[in-house]
Amino acid sequence: MEKRFNFEFDAEHLPKFREWIATRGGVIVWENQEIGGGAARKVMTPALTEDGAPYPPPNWRYGKPLLLDVDSAIVGTFTVLEKFRGRVKKFYWGMGLAAATEAKAEKLCELRRLRSPSSKFEYRYTFDFDYGATYAQVEIGEIVRELLRNMA
């Protein structure tokens, strides 16, 4: 594994990744090689199994392993400040937010940026399936990014 990979991940995964870095040879990032895409774009595993052997690919879809570059990896901490339910639209590549829902999320983020220019605000969404109808659960939040090596 000669290639190192810079990656941003959520703070909720930090304890597991620290353990893998300390005891299992690091963190491997596997990128989905399937042309059709598939649901998971990237999968993270420890570099070594518990026996010390190289970790095998998690599935046939994943190609060459990329070692996480600990010096440039970024940890993002997302704090939810507001939630709302929105509409979903089907696209040829899958599902996404309807234009009005996306505009509302962008506007709410922009309003928070105006109130607090030094902070960064983003939105994330998940899909809820409720009795045959599909909705998006949209979360507006503040994101704080920090280098992994600077975190205690």
Length of the chain: 152
Task: Return the pLDDT at 79.
Answer: 87
Residues 57 and 99 in one domain: no
- Beta bridge partners, 66, equal 29
pTM for the whole thing?
A: 0.64
Q: CA 87, 144, 10: angle at the middle one, nearest 5?
A: 70
Residues 82 and 134 in one domain: yes
Boundary (domain end) residue, out of 23, 54, 72: 72
d(CA 130, CA 133): 5
d(CA 80, CA 110): 15
Boundary (domain end) residue, out of 72, 94, 110: 72
pLDDT at 21 over 60: yes
Percent of the chain with pLDDT over 70: 89
Residues 81 and 65 in one domain: no
Q: Find all residues with CB under 8 Å of 128, minimum gap 6, and list them.
A: 85, 134, 135, 136, 137
Residues 82 and 129 in one domain: yes
Boundary (domain end) residue, out of 72, 107, 129: 72
Amino acid identity, position 44: M
Residues 101 and 68 in one domain: no
Containing structural domain, residue 145: 75-150
- Domains: count for the chain: 2
pLDDT at 2 over 50: no
Residues 79 and 144 in one domain: yes
